[in-house]
Amino acid sequence: MKRNSKIEFMRAFFCLMVILFHAGRKLNIQPIHIMSLEVTFLGYGYIGVEFFFLVSGFLLGKSVYKMRQQSLQSPDLGEETWSFWKRKFMSVFPHNVIAIVLVFGICAFEKNWHGVTLLKNLANAIPQLFFAQKLGFNFKSVNGITWYISAMLISMLILYPLCRKYYSMFVHVIGPLIGFYILGFIYFSTGSVSGVNSWLACDFKCVERAFAEISLGIVCFEIARQLSEKKKTKVQRGIATGIEVFGYLFVTMFALFTLPKKYEIFCICLLAISIVLTFSEYSYGLSLFDHAWVYQLGKLSLPLYLNQMFAIHAAKNLGGGRIASGFNLLYLCWL
């Protein structure tokens, strides 16, 4: 599959945002006040996960559309869904095995695990190894950041056959309704999409978050597909480029400034619009990112995400005194 260079760059960008958010919480970095605004060190960097859920939905929609074009007869939905899900699982599982082995080995060495303690922690790591923690097997383990992939895989297993069987109904009615209804329920109940282990109604909040945003991502694919087929003028492409850049920039600013979390919904909507414009190639700038190092950054985003516990651990051990003061100074200079 030909990859979109701008999306690959944004994958690396938002992956770094999430890693810095997690690591930054372990550093003793005080907020900086500029006029009446409080600026944090990516205090809301968790918002980067929304980009990955939306892109995952987009790619699911693309896969469904491709299968519909290729298959002239009614599909075996069970077999096709399992084949799609297995490919997704195997694309991330080898990276997760390496990450779990590395993190577990270092923790066992540092904390001197042996005997029963070693076996207990090894057993606790098994659900996370297979991304099963958001099925309810949420044992405390060494690499908890795989919750995102667990929530994504669970949601895809439900959404793929629904979208495959009722594609037109899904992209026009079901997807937008599911997406905004569930997000509205999350905001009404908790005031924010953030939160991993909290339970909401009948499921983990993060699984509902994934289900809603992947549904919207599927809708984004159909909009982008139709948009890519339309003729566009230079003026239209210029306006689209401005909207696209504004969307990504707004989300970045939200991650830095402590605005009320209820405005996360604006970030999700703007991200969806920007992703549509980027994938449809309606905007300018694709050639600016068409370099080998950009594609490599995109490929590295998953291993970096899965191994971010090393950055978090380093920040926890080094996050005091002069290091934190140095970060404050550099951050202020950058602003």
pLDDT digits (tens, 9 = 90+) for 264-276: 999 999 999 999 9
Over residues 73-93, the mean pLDDT reads 91
Q: Report the pLDDT value the prediction gives residue 22, as an integer from 0 to 100.
A: 85
Task: Please calculate the CA angle 29-20-45 and round it to the nearest 5 degrees.
Answer: 95
pTM value > 0.85: yes
Tell me how many domains the chain contains: 1
Q: Report the pLDDT value the prediction gives residue 37, as an integer from 0 to 100.
A: 67
Query: 207-266 pLDDT, tens per residue?
Result: 999 999 999 999 999 999 999 998 889 999 999 999 999 999 999 999 988 778 889 999
For residues 37 and 273, which has the higher predicted lDDT (pLDDT)?
273
pLDDT at 57 over 90: yes
Tell me the two tokens of residue 112: 């001197």
- Using a 10 angstrom Cβ sphere, with 0-12 exposed, 13-18 middle and 19 or more buried, the burial of residue 293 is exposed
Q: Report the pLDDT value the prediction gives residue 334, as an integer from 0 to 100.
A: 37
Whether 193 contacts 50, CB under 8 Å: yes
Q: Report the pLDDT value the prediction gives residue 36, as an integer from 0 to 100.
A: 67
Nearest of 144, 134, 156, 149 to residue 81 by alpha carbon: 156
Calpha distance 56→62 (Å, rounded): 10
pLDDT at 86 over 70: yes
pLDDT at 40 over 80: no
Q: Report the pLDDT value the prediction gives residue 319, as an integer from 0 to 100.
A: 59
Domain range for 181: 5-334
